[in-house]
Structure 1
Amino acid sequence: MSFRLSQRSRAALQGVHPDLVVVVEAAIELTPVDFMVSEGLRTAARQAELVRAGASRTLNSRHLTGHAVDVAAWVDGQVRWDWPLYPRIAEAFKAAAKTRGVRLIWGGDWPRLRDGPHFELDRRAYP
């Protein structure tokens, strides 16, 4: 099944690095689980707000430079946060990145504080 990015998702991609946008656009066509882009580029004020709320632990987020996106699984017309959905979405992101030569990091692969909805361009390739 092939899904499409919504207008809201496309709006959330404004200011995101073009290589990451290409990966998102390809991943939506590959994923077995529909998703929406919930956040892309963030302001410093938004990032500080997320840190205060405990939703982030850094003021040096890749979102500040447009090098990261967060997605939300979209199942039966609603956002779902069930962990098993996110590795399936991540497979599509990783496949899309690999075929396009884009070095991508998935927050779900982090050894601590796993973040299933988070995808970012590798700092070593995209400083």
Structure 2
Amino acid sequence: MGFALGARSRANLKGVHPDLIAVVEEAIKLTEVDFTVTEGLRSKERQAALVKAGASRTLNSRHLTGHAVDVAALVEGQVRWDWPLYGRIAAAFKAAAKKRGVALTWGGDWTKLRDGPHFELDRRAYP
């Protein structure tokens, strides 16, 4: 292990809720699979473009308030989208959230439109 967040990941965490940033920072230390933060806070325009492109189904994304991040698995420095990698990253995020006492939801646990790269602060604890 021994991964660290890169400059791109840190830049993509600007505007993200501090509790979620703390989880990301802890998860990178715990993960068996390296990852990069691809997106955090989004503008309404960016979200609308993602909906129009079919990459999102909601205009009410947690990204709009800095309560969500998306990550990409890195294997030998290359982005990979293989589903099993995201379960392993999610295990690190869940352990980090538990350690930090942060209520976290993983998009891979959703029953509709599962989203393996997506992590967000639980709406019940972070409305």
Q: Does the alignment reach a TM-score above 0.5?
A: yes
Measured after TM superposition, the shift of residue 42 of structure 1 is: 0.1
Quote the Cα distance in structure 1 between the aligned partners of 2:17 and 2:108: 21
Identity fraction in percent:
79
What pairs with 1:1-127 in structure 2 (closer than 5 Å)? 1-127=1-127
Quote the Cα distance in structure 2 between the aligned partners of 1:2 and 1:87: 19
Quote the Cα distance in structure 1 between the aligned partners of 2:77 and 2:103: 31
Gap runs ≥5 in structure 1:
none
Measured after TM superposition, the shift of residue 40 of structure 1 is: 0.1
Measured against aligned partners, the alpha-carbon deviations of 1:63-115 in whole angstroms (never above 9, x if no partner) come to: 00000000000111210000010000000000000011100000000011100
Measured against aligned partners, the alpha-carbon deviations of 1:18-76 in whole angstroms (never above 9, x if no partner) come to: 00000000000000000000000000000000000100000000000000000000111
TM-score scaled by length of structure 2:
0.99
Measured after TM superposition, the shift of residue 2 of structure 1 is: 1.4
Counterpart secondary structure, 1:79: strand
Gap runs ≥5 in structure 2:
none
Letter of the 2:125 partner, please give it: A
